[in-house]
Structure 1
Amino acid sequence: MDSLIPIINELHDILTILKEGSGGCNVSNELNLDLPEIAVVGSQSVGKTSLLEYIIGRHFLPRGQGIVTRRPLILQLQQIKQENRDDYAEFGHKKGLKFTDFEKVKEEILIETNRLIGENKNVSEVPILLRIFSKKAINLTLVDLPGLTKVPIEDQPFDIETQIRKIVLSYIRRPSCLILAITAANTDIANSDSLNIAREVDPEGIRTIGVLSKLDTVENYSTTLQVLSNQSYPLNRGYVAVMCRDSRQKAGGPRSLRASLNDEKSFFENNSKLKSYQSRCGTYNLVNILQKEFLDHILKLLPQIKNHSKKLIDLKQMELINYGDFSQSENKGAMILNCFSKFSRKFQNMIDGQASYQTGLMKLSGGARLNYVFHNWFGNTLFNFDPLDGLSDTEIRTAIKNSTGTKSSLFVSEGAFEVLARIQIKKLLRPSLTCVEQVYDELKRLVEQCSLPELNRYSNLKNNMISVVNHVLEECLGPTNRAVIDLINMELAYINTNHPDFIGGASALTSIFEKEKAFLTEGLTRNNSNDRSNKQVQDSIILDSDSVPMTPSGKSRIILNDFFNDQHESRKSQYVSTEYNETENISTYQNYKVIETHQISSVSKPIKSINENSPVFPTNRSTTSSIDIFSPVKKIQGHNPAKTVHAGVFGANLAENEKNYSGRFGGKMGLPLVPETIATSGDPSEREKIESDVIKFFIVSYFNIVRKNVADSVPKAIMYFMVNAAKEAIQRELVAKLYREEIFDDLLQEEKGIVEKRQQCHRNINKLSNITKQLETLISNFNL
């Protein structure tokens, strides 16, 4: 029996070491063995400190007003048999340092408490471990807990009562913990804070030992005797009465513990009212009762402690396997090849989604992250891009004029469409290359996550393997970028307007014609803005070109609308057609500019005809609407073509220059100088507006085709040239670069920390094995 508590204390020390070495890992959950201990619970100033010092036989605890114990103090008491050895103490946070001066122990408790929570009155659940080796001590494990309080004082937090209760409950709710509930004998037992909180976790009073302190202050013993006889509030282990009064001072200072204990013994022996309760009175009897109850409690838990000790041995042996027990006789080459195989297989499994369970269910990992980059990141970026982004109406008009050169096109220029389409297609290159870079970064991230127990032992091998794999990824990066650039260049090399999904020719023109016609029919006011809505172009409804009206002779009819009535008149739509006679001279039509058209073929544009009787294009009209795709017809009467050319081509400011040049030549006609930069300016004509709409329509239709191609082809190129290539090449490159016998020793050089951890693991296994054997012996001796 004498060796029982030292065994438990040794097991407690090993558990403390193992928990500290686990670094907060899940392994620490396996180490939560609730070893038997006695928790001392009571309100402030009920005599907890005095009682503990009486039990231990030393003054070593801080004293003062208010709350003094602000952190749990775990006291492991162990009796020493050698008479020639002095008593000493050791702190858990200062291993190996022996305190023979117990005044220094008192100071160290204060220092360690203040170090963590400062000098205020706050509390903390972090315990202080103190081992006391004394000839006077008995083998016990006690826990001094902060005194229960209700009202915060000084700078204590407002919830100090809740904090202390939480700390106390965390200890006494353990089934392995005995509760030493201290109550002042001069107070009503019904108001005992210690018994009240003990009843919350031990309602039947099986684990609770009641202590009545300050018995020398009691005047009426009737209530006290009723409590001692276990009648007022019965406890399975009963009550013990103590005095705990060493505050009386002598001339030279405080009374010694020996003198106080003698006074207590004398008090109980001479008190006739307590004569029949002598076995339950005094600190001496309390110590014997505590030791007996503690040992009995431990004996009941021995089978559970032994089983847990065996589990700890298994746990540490698994840890030892992870550290490895490599010897020179082992085949180093086989070990290295095994690491290469495991690493490459794990890398492949993470990409294929076979190792995703290791990262939990709260985040994407491995190949799922690549899929996210391809579709949610890259794909959404492409499909959210506006096909006309970055193209203004002015730039489109300029491109149309530049594509026709010295000629004026009868229809929309295909060259302008191809130039503008290529400009927009080039914008797909940057996000495509960014997608390659992001996948490359994700693969490097996977390499870092491919951890193996063997690689934790051999840092040189791990670093060299990661370096080789990263080099493989770098070699895959170049071909992948070139493949993606080639994909974009292929789209730029040939604008395939014969693609089945491309909407062009008569269908596009008919769509715009029908849209304009619907606006006029509804009587909507058209805005003469420079930049017409790109959204209208993209949302145009494609109609069949067969809806374009044809004349019986096969000539197309040009349909115009009388939408240029006076500003003060309401707007109306009027459609009148007339046969266009190509032999008539344009001068016959003084109010109209007529354009000859032939029968619409599959590649021609739908055209509208003019009604001679309808005045269509009045002069100096600033706000116009048109459904015609050709240039607006100006009234010949009162029309100055020179000014139109100047304003539309050279800029509006040339009108002033014309006056200056006319004056310089003495009233004779002269040409202004051609400026260095000529840009399209001024309000667009009706023809230019319609041409711009048609070009926009073509760009949107063709860009959507290219965008789908790129969104589909780029992920495929990345998978082929980078991801799959890396999966296939990793193991081959590792063998080629690192499987060389001359570097085996360097690769398998273990870190000093791993060697130390392996040795410590061996020591812990040996200690646990010895403890388990001793526990089995005790269990056998006591027939448990």
Structure 2
Amino acid sequence: MGEGNDARAVLENKLYPLSRGYVGVINRNQSDIDKKKSIADAIESEKKFFNTHPAYKFLSDRLGIHCLQRILIEQFTNHISYTLPALRNELTAESLDIVKYLLEKYYQLDDTASEINLFEMHRLVLDSFHSEIGFYESDEVSEIPNGGSKINKLMHTSLPLIFSHETLEDLRKQVIGTIQNVRGARKGQFAPDKAFEIVLKAQISKYEEPSMRCVSLVIKELTNTLFYCTEHQQTFINENDKKSTAVNENTKKPQQENKKIYNPFLNKKKRKREGRNLAQRNALMEMLPQDEQEIVVTKYKGAEAAGGSGREFSLREQN
């Protein structure tokens, strides 16, 4: 690639075609070594040569030591990405075979070896869990439905199927009926906000149970997946007990968070209903004579003590 050489046909991959083409570089000659020319100066001279040479200036972006370095790094990275998963799977399989052999022979591992073995077991559990959820790092994919596919079906097929029983037309009729009840005998130009609030609360109450059940099923599937991934640790009984306890404690947290979000709405609704019932009972009591009020109160308290609905009993007696 020195002065007087024209290798454009070769660099354009026309003379002797190669699958990955050619990269032109200028090697350090004896003159550069004698003059103690630095690497940085040599790279700068190479860049200037390719940018000014009439045959190579149109290919300057594909020539030089920097281009060669970039291409080699890309090829090396691709090679590692292609071969590393298979190598890791092979080493993992061999490691499991060795551990199984040692355990069968009742080989006593020292503290350091036990820590390494335990760390390896934890890593294998994590890799197995990723595979079961669907984060595959190899080309080995089983045809049996894994935990990730079951969770996906629960969230995106089963739950929407429950919600699909109520059509948009039914919801529209419910909204219209609620608007008419809120207005009563009055005329209105705009739809009252209270009507939509009532319908929305009714929808939340209606879908509470299937939504909570879906959350429970998802957590149950995650728990089953974790227990499945720890099956190969059956020799470590104490460790399995600790893992089971940790899994059960951590799977309860999402359910508790869901209840924290939903319970304030339920408690507020319950307090409103109890307050409305109390107001109705007091209003009915004021309409009765004093002696009849005492009889109703006595029977109401007796019904509550018996575990029944005191409100329903008192209203039935008054009617």
Shorter-chain TM-score tier:
0.3 to 0.5
For normalisation by structure 2, the TM-score amounts to 0.42
For normalisation by structure 1, the TM-score amounts to 0.19
Structure with higher RCO (Cα < 8 A, 6+ apart):
1
Query: 1 or 2, which has the higher strand percentage?
Result: 1
